[in-house]
Structure 1
Amino acid sequence: MRAASVADFRELARRRLPNIFFEYIDGGSYAEVTLARNVADLEAIALRQRVMRDMTALDMSVETLGQTLAMPVGLSPVGMAGMYARRGEVQAARAAAAAGAPFCLSTVSVCSVEEVARGATAPWFQLYMLKDRGYMTELLGRAKAAGCPVLVFTVDLPVPGSRYRDIRSGFTGASGVSGALRQGLDGLAHPAWMWDVWANGRPHSLGNVEGALAQKGRRVTDFLGWVARNFDRSVTWADLDWVRRSWDGPIVIKGVLDVEDAREAVRCCAQGVVVSNHGGRQLDGVKSSISALPRIADAVGGELEVFMDGGVRSGLDVLKAAALGAKACFVGRAWAWALGAGGEAAVAQMLAILRSELAVAMILTGCTAMRDAGRALLDLDEASPARRR
């Protein structure tokens, strides 16, 4: 099958990846209500079609945090992407750089920040706060030395949400000989992945935090248990002062759904926020990212950069989010599916599809420049999630 949409990459990834890794990418927390809302609420927003306008020239670029993005799309941090394709984070970062899009590297990536910077370009760096502050100081120093231009501080994971699919698949909770056997059989059923990733994609460790791991040589899925036990749930807004002492570049707070938290980010002198519910992978039953976006953009959009992730599956979704106040959208599952489907080439193709879809949406709404995108591009009837404010 040749992929024509983000949904096609999902199907291709499902076929190629072992079930434990596909379900880890694809699933959300609990009953996955918020995961479904993220997509459904974006679909429910209607664009306002306009005709007979000169749309010869389109400007998709945006300026943010001292950078020029070719289009308002970036790649969200996705954990363990090196298990979806051989040295996967490097492949994805190369595709993003070629498309003029920022790539944000997860704290719990397989490839280290140094490897990604050498193999592609210096990524934005996503920070999870671990209890070992000495190691976190060292990690921030490594990110700075690698040339990372932006720190994305993810604050909505003081404890991992319960993800039923991961338990059912054996990704979490499986241990001992039976767990290893189950995972081994899952891998053997996907020989292309076994050759590309398992045989030739080593080492299978968490490159950024390997030095802090208490145990070596275990399965990559075992490392997540250690990381979960070491996430620091005592973190407060006051801890941004500590982060600032180790990081003098832009800081973006990811995981904001509430206006008061967005205002707190302004008070703490953050340079941006990502309106996000962690892709529906944390607290199930909360509102969608797109329904939270307008109020947050209205409240703080003049004081810092407002980004969004969650549910973006097309270039049309990107324009809808921009019209409601997002400077750019970050996609997570979209690029993880593409990476699992076909590595760097597939991620590049996915980004090209988003760009093409965004161009069509701009032309047929009369939007010549992304910097001018506003709510006039939307048909905001009473049923639209964009009016639930």
Structure 2
Amino acid sequence: MAVITCIDDLKRIYQRRVPKMFFDYAESGSWTEQTFRENSSDFEDIYLRQRVAVDMSGRSTASQMIGQDVAMPVALAPVGLTGMQCADGEIKAARAAEKFGVPFTLSTMSINSIEEVAAATSKPFWFQLYTMTDDDFVSRLIERARAAKCSALVITLDLQILGQRHKDLKNGLSAPPKLTPGTVANLMTKWRWGIEMLGATRRNFGNIVGHVEGISDAQDLGVWTTESFDPTLDWDKIAKIKEAWGGKVILKGILDAEDAKMALKVGADAIIVSNHGGRQLDGALSSIRALPSILEAVGDEVEVHLDGGIRSGQDVLKAVAMGAKGTYIGRSFVYGLGAMGEAGVTKALEILKNEMDISMALCGRRRIDELGRDILLVPEGFEGRWQS
């Protein structure tokens, strides 16, 4: 068995085991994929300051995100179709996160439903909401999340219309997969995935099928989904959703300082600096480059989290030292899930925690609350200098 030491090791196993259309779904961005690539590569421009002869005993990566104790400042991001990466993928990922002590965020576009994940876990998880044109469906979705005792609502703001991802179109992405000659040929090489999927609790979108009238097959669902994202979403609607929820709200998809200020005005408990993993507006700044200007805009008035490009514990360390109170991993946990199921998600979390712990110590810090920009070497003009 291969020795797994980093997230890339999990990615290689994941690529071998999961059908091409679902690997491509995770490992892609929109248009030219510039933003998708730079989400990760821009972390390399930030260097760590090594410090020596410092007491490194008694270290801890423990922290809090929106008042919730976490084993490290990392949450599992909402990822659609997770249950197609591995049978019962959302359930396995949620269990791994719960045991490890980090938040799990269930996507609206999950395979396992809110109720199925709640039945399989013992602690509250977070629920990510896409705003749809069907107000009744959105209201019922919020009520289902409340009934499942979800402890936070994560409202995604950057998917009012769907960005074009070339690979998904070419692969004919669907759940379950359409059985074309090309798909069948690829599935025949992924026999372990197929056997496990036969025993899955569900193979379609559990939060939608059975909850929307007229959705009976993958084709109906595909049409409904592409037509249902709400292009009219504005700050008034966000405020109304927050009021309807009544609990903690995290706004995901903030990439501009002015939008961060608006998120503050509607009373968000946290905002997530995110470009949807480079899957929406290609050519936008990476999340880590956008982070400083957003922190400057809102200060300590709201928690600022970061999503996008996290592939190592050093990436987490850099984001937190820059000022983020938490980070999110999507692809990193999906690699582990597709490679090894629940154990793979746990392995991904262990890798990140170990890398973060050791790197933090070598920077002369023992606790998360000791981290600051003074452990970083950030290039001048890192956020960019732009003409007005």
TM > 0.5 between the two? yes
State the match for 2:292 in structure 1: 294
TM-score by length of 1: 0.94
Counterpart Cα distance in 1 of 2:280 and 2:223: 16
For 1:67, the aligned partner's letter is Q
Residues 113 and 123 in structure 1, CA contact (< 8 A), matched pair in contact too: no
Identity of aligned residues (%): 40
Residues 276 and 308 in structure 2, CA contact (< 8 A), matched pair in contact too: yes
1:140 aligns with 2:142: yes
| Residue among 224, 227, 230 paired with 1:226 | 224
CA displacement at 1:218 relative to structure 2? 2.4
Which consecutive aligned stretches of 4+ in structure 1 deviate over 6 angstroms post-superposition? none
Counterpart Cα distance in 2 of 1:82 and 1:160: 21
Residues 141 and 246 in structure 1, CA contact (< 8 A), matched pair in contact too: no
State the match for 1:122 in structure 2: 124
5 Å matches for 1:297-336? 297-336=295-334
State the match for 1:43 in structure 2: 44
Aligned-partner SS, 2:353? helix
Which string of whole-angstrom CA distances, capped at 9 and with x for unpartnered residues, describes residues 133-190 of structure 1?
Answer: 1111111011011111011000000111110111222327xx98xx634333322221
5 Å matches for 1:206-225? 206-219=205-218, 223-225=221-223
1:238 aligns with 2:219: no
Counterpart Cα distance in 2 of 1:381 and 1:331: 25
5 Å matches for 1:1-389? 1-120=2-121, 121-171=123-173, 180-197=180-197, 199-219=198-218, 223-382=221-380, 385=382
Counterpart Cα distance in 2 of 1:154 and 1:29: 17
Counterpart Cα distance in 2 of 1:229 and 1:132: 10
Residues 116 and 122 in structure 1, CA contact (< 8 A), matched pair in contact too: no
For 1:7, the aligned partner's letter is D
Which string of whole-angstrom CA distances, capped at 9 and with x for unpartnered residues, describes residues 180-230 of structure 1?
Answer: 343333222210000011x111421211122344544424x8634421210
Residues 291 and 388 in structure 1, CA contact (< 8 A), matched pair in contact too: no
Residues 301 and 325 in structure 1, CA contact (< 8 A), matched pair in contact too: no
Counterpart Cα distance in 2 of 1:262 and 1:97: 30
Counterpart Cα distance in 1 of 2:323 and 2:299: 7
CA displacement at 1:66 relative to structure 2? 2.4
Residues 46 and 378 in structure 1, CA contact (< 8 A), matched pair in contact too: yes
Aligned-partner SS, 2:149? coil
CA displacement at 1:354 relative to structure 2? 0.4
Residues 294 and 386 in structure 1, CA contact (< 8 A), matched pair in contact too: yes
CA displacement at 1:387 relative to structure 2? 7.2
Counterpart Cα distance in 1 of 2:24 and 2:265: 38
Which runs of 5 or more structure 1 residues have no equivalent in the other structure? Answer: none
Which string of whole-angstrom CA distances, capped at 9 and with x for unpartnered residues, describes residues 50-80 of structure 1?
Answer: 1110010112111232211110011000001
Counterpart Cα distance in 1 of 2:343 and 2:149: 25
Counterpart Cα distance in 1 of 2:101 and 2:299: 24
Aligned-partner SS, 2:380? coil
CA displacement at 1:26 relative to structure 2? 0.6
Aligned length: 383
Counterpart Cα distance in 2 of 1:185 and 1:301: 53
For 1:70, the aligned partner's letter is A
**Is 13-22 or 207-216 further displaced after alignment?**
207-216
Residues 39 and 286 in structure 2, CA contact (< 8 A), matched pair in contact too: yes
Aligned-partner SS, 1:252? strand
Residues 333 and 348 in structure 2, CA contact (< 8 A), matched pair in contact too: yes
Residues 213 and 226 in structure 1, CA contact (< 8 A), matched pair in contact too: no
For 1:38, the aligned partner's letter is N
Which string of whole-angstrom CA distances, capped at 9 and with x for unpartnered residues, describes residues 258-309 of structure 1?
Answer: 0000000001111110000000000000000000001111221311110001
TM-score by length of 2: 0.94
Residues 170 and 183 in structure 1, CA contact (< 8 A), matched pair in contact too: no
Residues 45 and 378 in structure 2, CA contact (< 8 A), matched pair in contact too: no
